[in-house]
Structure 1
Amino acid sequence: MLKRTGWCLLVLVSLSVSAVAGDSLLLDDKVYEVPDIHRVPEQDQGDIQAIFYDTLDYKGKPTRAFAYIGIPQSDEPVPAMVLVHGGGGTAFYNWVKIWNDRGYAAISMSLEGHMPNEKGAGKIRHEFSGPSRVGRFDDAELPLNEQWMYHAVSDIFIANSLLAAQPGVDADRIGVTGISWGGILSSLVSGIDSRYKCAMPVYGCGYLFDSLGHFASVKTDAQKFWDPSRYIVEGSVPTLWVNSDSDGHFSVNTTSHCFETTDDHAFLNIHPGLAHGHGPGWDKKRVPEIYAFADHILKGQGAALGRIVKQPSGRDVKLMYKSDVPLESATVYYLNEPLTYRKPAGDPGAKHSRPGPWIERKALVNAEAGTVVAQLPKSCQTYYVNLKDTRGHLISSVLVELD
């Protein structure tokens, strides 16, 4: 049974209310309070409940977010996940089920004022809808509390407060993961909401103003206010950065930069050829590291992901790593040009540009010394290295761009 309590947690998030000046974001104190919940039983999906929860007023109008929430039966409080959808997405009960089946409570909410049809699909506006996303921060010149990002971030804070208050949930073991736009939001939130014990942004990240792909238009100071790079620099939540090496939305250099900013508490996965979308971004077989990372931190189960303790830098590739799980292989992926995003030569009608094709070269692993070495051709200008352990989990180096 869902429960509303008076439980509240204060977190310092800001020194400034300005949407341009200042480095931080001031949210309404209500985001730390447990919201009123409104059941929608006709939209339940098996044991996963459909609800509305109260969110912040928008232009003087009360608003609510639709969400699916599931809490597995357990004799002990369970860990939990807040699931943040991407552009074109909404609340996903099947995403909640993936985590429920793994012994986690989970909530997936619509951040653009939608609810599904009676079959749990589609996107229908409702009478309590708040703002919808406008391009890539294209509403950034409006007053702060009228911008979509302000409400989306607030809705995520409130979802955390709601989930933590449920009797079957361990409030001290909550993580967040998001896909695409949800990756932007979950990485931003990881920098300002220290209640989270782990974060796994997929595709979406910070430093969007340095993007070579779809987000290259994010340039103005008002737009940059929402860039997660402003907030992750002060964060300490253990974070797994996940991206594809050929994603047209979020260029891999930005993900690498996010990892470098947070490297004292972060891990990096660059997946060769990972397609963009909600399905690939939560696929247990395609991105198993997400679930291993959560299990290790929130359940104390399984070995930690490995770490590269000395990153490569030149064409004579040499890195040092530590891993409790033996390595199966190491591969260098490289380009004979600077990182460049363009429409594929064989597919000029493609919606998004991408780099590549990447060239593969096997690297030599010395398990006793904890080193990986490889020699790259003089033509190489860009590369990264992937280590794969015997579980099939990746450990990625930063992106190296040579002169």
Structure 2
Amino acid sequence: MKKLIFLLLVSIQLLHAQKKSVPVINDKVIKVDTLLWDMKALSKAPEIEWLNKTGNVYSLFYKGVDYNGKPTQVFAYYSNPDLILGKTQSKTKFPGVVLLHGGGGKAFKEWVEKWAAEGYAAIAMDFSGKQNDVKTYTMPGPEQGDLDKFLKLETGSDLKNMWTYQAVANAILAHSLLLSFPEVETTKTCLTGISWGGYLTCLVGSLDNRFKAAVPVYGCAFYDESDIFKVPLAKLSPAVRKKWMKYFDPSSYMPYAKPQFLFVNGNKDRFYNVIPYDKTYKLIPEAQRSMCLIPDMKHGHEVGWEPHEIRYFFENVINQTAPLSKVKQIVMKDSSLTASYSSPVSLRTADFYYSNDTTSLNENRVWSSKKVQIDSKTKTLYCPVPKERFKYGFFYLKDHRNVSASSEFIIN
């Protein structure tokens, strides 16, 4: 009898452990006149169906938000440091990361593996409407073409049937699901996304203030100023375009963001060009943002998740490890450029990249570079102003960890 009571108590304790309390998003800090998303509803962990719980990465469906009045299911991959090593679940708690793919992408198993190997419980979900390696996907949401992202709004489509509404809601639900897992440390969750996933990171990181750190790669706000995305937006009537910008451009929400942000991009990205990118990161308070502009960075999923600066940034925010280097005050005189910097590790190299090309599209802009003198005693960077002057410029640093950082764009 005593043994039966003991087993019953253990079962009850395990049941309570599985019903872990999930933090609720504080929507009161998001001071917009109309908030499309129901943050309290999205703060609840969705129902799930495990498809595969073998191997080092699990696959699942979770219940998404309704689309065209019908229920949806979202495909996702999940792993953590125990699973990636083939171990049974331990009592160890891990930080968490939510991974948002870009256009033409899907839930990437390899991306989840990478972050689980880095020590994180990681979840990546599919925003394409049909994961091509899932045999049964009976309740998909919208697909990720221009029709669902932009053009349907012109036909009077409900805002909640637009791709952005659906993707943001389902990303937040993935975070709520992650937070419900007993092995995830609820005060140490992070977010990163690539390209359109970077755009979503700007949105989700601004709306879901349970995240501690967010890293949009490439993606930014001010879509009506993008070399590429202003084209489908221009197909909308002025009133509808204004409506899209109000509800779906990250500029509407980023002033209310609470996580620490690291902005990662190249200087020649095809989709996210200098001017709107510069305006985007300035929506986040200076003390809350860090920069990593990587010269000539290519555009893609693999190159987008490759920078190890993302992990160093997360670790600094959630575990107070050594931060990335940071370029501070920049002073330009007639013949010289100087900047102060902070770095926990000695700098190995510093360069100044600049361009006077104001006529080319961002991806075709011609850039030059100069070596920068590093004064490690005064923590000062120095280089002569190029004889031909410059329209756009930035400092790029690497320390002895081989971790890079940059200044923000200098725009004259």
TM-score range, shorter chain: 0.7 to 0.9
CA distance in 1 between counterparts of 2:141 and 2:348 reads 49
Q: How does 1:233-382 map to 2 (within 5 A)?
A: 233-262=255-284, 263-283=286-306, 287-301=307-321, 303-312=322-331, 316-338=336-358, 340-342=359-361, 354-375=363-384, 376-382=386-392
Deviation of the 1:241 alpha carbon: 0.3
1:32 aligns with 2:52: no
Distance change >3 Å, CA 196–CA 247, structure 1 → 2: same
1:144 aligns with 2:155: no
Partner-residue secondary structure (3-state), 2:96? strand
CA distance in 1 between counterparts of 2:309 and 2:353 reads 20
Distance change >3 Å, CA 125–CA 22, structure 1 → 2: farther
Instruction: Specify the code of the residue in structure 1 equivalent to 2:314.
Output: A
Contact 1:16 1:25 in 2 (8 A): no
CA distance in 2 between counterparts of 1:64 and 1:38 reads 9
Question: Could you say which residue in structure 2 is the equivalent of 1:117?
Answer: 133
Deviation of the 1:328 alpha carbon: 1.2
Partner-residue secondary structure (3-state), 2:265? strand
Contact 1:67 1:107 in 2 (8 A): yes
> Which residue, out of 207, 230, 239, partners 1:216?
230
Contact 1:332 1:360 in 2 (8 A): yes
Question: Could you say which residue in structure 1 is the equivalent of 2:237?
Answer: none
Distance change >3 Å, CA 16–CA 380, structure 1 → 2: closer
Q: Deviations over 1:288-315 (max 9, x none)?
A: 21111112223444x1012222135566
Question: Could you say which residue in structure 2 is the equivalent of 1:65?
Answer: 74
1:227 aligns with 2:259: no
Q: How does 1:148-167 map to 2 (within 5 A)?
A: 148-167=163-182
CA distance in 1 between counterparts of 2:225 and 2:366 reads 21
Partner-residue secondary structure (3-state), 1:296? helix
Contact 1:200 1:239 in 2 (8 A): yes
Structure 2 length-normalised TM: 0.84
Contact 1:79 1:105 in 2 (8 A): yes
Q: Deviations over 1:8-51 (max 9, x none)?
A: 4332337999xxx837443363211111111112xx67221110
Structure 1 length-normalised TM: 0.86
Q: Deviations over 1:171-200 (max 9, x none)?
A: 111100000000000111111111001001
Distance change >3 Å, CA 391–CA 8, structure 1 → 2: closer
Instruction: Specify the code of the residue in structure 2 equivalent to 1:306.
Output: S
Question: Could you say which residue in structure 1 is the equivalent of 2:395?
Answer: 385
| Structure 2 gaps, min length 5 | 1-13, 83-89, 235-240
Deviation of the 1:251 alpha carbon: 0.8
Instruction: Specify the code of the residue in structure 2 equivalent to 1:373.
Output: Y
Aligned CA RMSD, in angstroms, stands at 2.5
CA distance in 1 between counterparts of 2:34 and 2:169 reads 18
Instruction: Specify the code of the residue in structure 2 equivalent to 1:248.
Output: R
CA distance in 2 between counterparts of 1:25 and 1:178 reads 21
Question: Could you say which residue in structure 2 is the equivalent of 1:127?
Answer: 138
Distance change >3 Å, CA 112–CA 197, structure 1 → 2: same
Contact 1:204 1:250 in 2 (8 A): yes
Question: Could you say which residue in structure 2 is the equivalent of 1:191?
Answer: 206
CA distance in 2 between counterparts of 1:57 and 1:190 reads 22
> Which residue, out of 25, 43, 52, partners 1:11?
25
Contact 2:45 2:173 in 1 (8 A): yes
Provide the aligned length of Structure 1 versus Structure 2: 376
Contact 1:15 1:24 in 2 (8 A): no
Partner-residue secondary structure (3-state), 2:348? strand
CA distance in 2 between counterparts of 1:28 and 1:125 reads 30
Contact 2:292 2:404 in 1 (8 A): yes
Partner-residue secondary structure (3-state), 2:152? coil
Question: Could you say which residue in structure 2 is the equivalent of 1:349?
Answer: none
Q: How does 1:170-189 map to 2 (within 5 A)?
A: 170-189=185-204
Instruction: Specify the code of the residue in structure 2 equivalent to 1:188.
Output: L
Deviation of the 1:235 alpha carbon: 1.1
CA distance in 2 between counterparts of 1:365 and 1:300 reads 26
Distance change >3 Å, CA 57–CA 355, structure 1 → 2: same
Distance change >3 Å, CA 229–CA 140, structure 1 → 2: same
Q: Whose helix fraction is larger, Structure 1's or Structure 2's?
A: 2
CA distance in 2 between counterparts of 1:28 and 1:258 reads 23
Deviation of the 1:100 alpha carbon: 0.5
CA distance in 1 between counterparts of 2:153 and 2:343 reads 43
Q: Deviations over 1:264-287 (max 9, x none)?
A: 20101111111100000011xxx1
Instruction: Specify the code of the residue in structure 2 equivalent to 1:258.
Output: T
1:107 aligns with 2:123: yes
Deviation of the 1:234 alpha carbon: 1.3
Instruction: Specify the code of the residue in structure 2 equivalent to 1:308.
Output: V
Distance change >3 Å, CA 298–CA 71, structure 1 → 2: same
Partner-residue secondary structure (3-state), 1:58? coil
Contact 2:45 2:176 in 1 (8 A): yes
1:49 aligns with 2:58: yes
Identity, in percent, stands at 30
CA distance in 2 between counterparts of 1:15 and 1:139 reads 30
Distance change >3 Å, CA 393–CA 255, structure 1 → 2: farther
Larger Rg: 2
Instruction: Specify the code of the residue in structure 1 equivalent to 2:292.
Output: N
Deviation of the 1:257 alpha carbon: 2.4
Question: Could you say which residue in structure 2 is the equivalent of 1:345?
Answer: none
CA distance in 2 between counterparts of 1:391 and 1:207 reads 34
Instruction: Specify the code of the residue in structure 2 equivalent to 1:178.
Output: G
